[in-house]
Structure formats: C-alpha cells, structure tokens
Amino acid sequence: MTTLTKNILQNILLPEPFEAICEETGENPKVIADELRNLIDLRLITVMEWSESKGDYVQTLYYDSDNMPQHHFCITAKGLNIIS
C-alpha cells in the first residue's frame, strides 16, 4: 500500500468531500482523483451522496468519474481491514 493510499483511507473514516481529501493529503487533485477511482474499483472506499429525505449521507452506485469534486467518499469495512 502506498503512502498516499494509506493517507486517503485514514482520512475518510466519515464521508469527506473531494476537496478535503486533497487538502489533507497535500497531493495534486488529478492524482487524488485517479487514486480514488482505483480505491472504488478495489471496493476499499464508497461514493456517498447527501440524502435530503434521510438527512444523512447514503451510498450511491453511480458517480461521475470525470467530476470527482462533486462527490463525498467514505472508507468501507474492507478498507478498514486494510489499515488496521
């Protein structure tokens, strides 16, 4: 696991916006977007969206991979197992 991967996973224990992940890691947004896509494919993180009806973030299966800043991301149980 790369240092960047570990940093991302440790910083998204709760749903975090793309911009916050970039700020916390200090990495280029394009690099972060690529890494997030990889982590989604590996099912280590999930894409979240705000649900007005539930008043909370909910998992979504669909996301715009060309517009990562519009999404929030959260670690999955599989991701937690990797960093613990």
The DSSP bridge partners found for residue 48 are: 59, 72
> Of 62, 32, 34, which is closest to residue 46 (Cα–Cα)?
62
| pLDDT tens-digit map of 1-45 | 899 999 999 999 999 999 999 999 999 999 999 999 999 999 999
- Tell me, what's the pLDDT at 71? 94
| pLDDT tens-digit map of 66-76 | 999 999 999 99
| 8 A C-beta contact, residue 67 and residue 18 | no
- Tell me, what's the pLDDT at 15? 97
| 8 A C-beta contact, residue 21 and residue 12 | yes
Which CATH number does the domain 3-83 belong to among 1.10.443.10, 1.10.10.10, 3.40.50.2300, 1.10.287.70? 1.10.10.10
- Tell me, what's the pLDDT at 10? 95
Is pLDDT above 90 for 84? no
